[in-house]
Amino acid sequence: MDHTFVFYCIIGILIGEFLLTSFLNYLNAQRFKDPVPEDVRDVYNAEEYEKSQAYKYTNYRFGILTSTFSLVLILTFLLFGGFAWVDNIANQITTAPIPKALIFFGIILIGSDLLSTPFSYYQTFVIEEKFGFNKTTLKTFISDKLKGWLIIIIVGGLILSMVIWFFQWAGTDFWIYTWLLVAVFTIFMNLFYSKLIVPLFNKQEPLQNGSLKEKIESYANKVGFELNNIFVINGSKRSTKANAYFSGFGKEKRVTLYDTLINDLEEDEILAVLAHEIGHYKKKHIIFNLTTSILLTGLMLFILSIFINNPNLSLAIGVARPSFHAALISFGILYSPISEITGLLMNYLSRKFEYEADNFAKNTFSETPLISSLKKLSKNSLSNLTPHPAYVFMHYSHPPLVKRIQNLKA
């Protein structure tokens, strides 16, 4: 295959993914005004439902704008030699492979983020503000952006440097060592993300003594779940939307509750949500997802090792001097259809796991408070009660609310 063929494959994939995504979004939008299923008819009153409709349509239209901009931006970069231009800038600074690659990706990632910042700003300070969700200040918005760049530069730069060094040292066998590096990093982050990264953005405090903590500890003992780390995070710093999540495993496992969740739900409802999260752990979903992620990364790296030395990957994006970093850009786009397929499988399994975690909460606690908590959380986030099945199949990692409630009532 020559570089022209690879170029047209890249263009075809980018346009094809855009058209598929746009079509699915269109199908989903056509279902916005469908009759609300009986099981979730009590989530909104008439005024709230009208507000949720407006929120969905606003995000739908804004999504068309942002996805079109992204497509036009990358096509312009490809058609008018943008990648070659960035590569030349990096090459003028240094010809050493690792520093050159860091400069190349640094310019692309930070430049892309800067171009998308007005859209992020509008999403946060106009759309989310209009519908009563936003609590982010301009200072927090800028701080989050700068901290995100810092993490990418330090962590991403270190990992990229190691990958290129492996390639220089081991040739096409670099994928094995890269896989081991990524596996160790993934496990490390799963264990310590809440300790190392979250505090950079949010304040976490142990759940205070009281009836809620006593109920949680009592339930954890009942189901044989050792839980010493229960934290409350100040999610209200950025949004009124509520959440809870489980992280880590072994002695490092912890449950984190958003302060908005504690404010929005009754204690039994919070406990039901917690029971669901513990269900994920008891059913070994955490370990399965972690293992699967590592295996899929290994598959991607193995395929990368087959094609990385092909100069046509670099030439296809207009870079005249074949290099690891230019080939990585091409490969990332060419591999995206495979990522879509594996993503479909992971979403299917994720939805299955959600049912299993719901059933665990139902059988070890109660379905009634879990149903009411799911309805409240959906209402408070103005979620879509009538998603299109095709959109759910492609994008949903959780089953639609009505399906979860029907399962809990069965």
- pTM, two decimals, is 0.90
Q: Would the pLDDT of 226 be above 90?
A: no
Active-site residue, selected from the candidate residues 277, 340, 356, 367: 277
User: In sequence order, what are the beta bridge partners of 50?
Assistant: none
Q: What is the pLDDT of residue 54?
A: 94
pLDDT at 1 over 70: no
How many CB atoms within 10 Å of residue 203? 12
Long-range CB contacts for residues 315-321, cutoff 8 Å, separation at least 24:
315/3, 315/6, 316/3, 316/4, 316/6, 316/7, 316/9, 316/10, 317/7, 317/10, 317/78, 317/83, 317/84, 318/78, 318/81, 318/82, 318/83, 318/84, 319/83, 319/84, 319/87, 320/84, 321/87, 321/91
pLDDT for res 196: 83
Mean pLDDT of 5-15: 94
Per residue in 286-334, pLDDT (tens digit) is 889 999 999 999 999 999 999 998 999 999 999 988 999 999 999 999 9
pLDDT score recorded for residue 264: 87
Active site residue 277: yes
Rounded Cα distance between 343 and 333, Å, is: 15
Q: Is the predicted pLDDT of residue 33 greater than 90, yes or no?
A: no
CB contact at 8 A, 220 and 278: yes
369: closest CA among 273, 262, 260? 273
Q: Cβ-count burial of 404 within 10 angstroms (0-12 exposed, 13-18 middle, 19+ buried)? A: buried
64: left (phi over 0), alpha (psi -120 to 50) or beta: alpha
Q: Give start and end residues of each alpha helix (H) in 365-400.
A: 367-380, 389-395
Average pLDDT over residues 161-171: 94
Q: Which of 174, 138, 131, 116 shows the shortest CA–CA distance to 327? A: 174
Is 100's pLDDT higher than 90? Answer: yes
Region 342-351: mean pLDDT is: 95
Mean pLDDT of 18-24: 96
What residue type is 29 in one-letter code?
A: A
Give the pLDDT band (50/70/90) at residue 236: confident
Length of the chain: 410
Helices (H), 123-210: 128-130, 138-151, 157-170, 174-196, 198-201
Greater confidence (410 vs 152) lies with 152
Residue 26 has pLDDT above 90, yes or no: yes
Stretch 354-380: mean pLDDT: 93
Lowest mean pLDDT among 139-148, 223-232, 297-306: 223-232
Mean of pLDDT values over 264-290: 91
Helical (H) or strand (E) element with 75: helix 46-79
Per-residue pLDDT at 237: 87
**Alpha-carbon dihedral of residues 27, 32, 37, 39, nearest 10 degrees?**
110
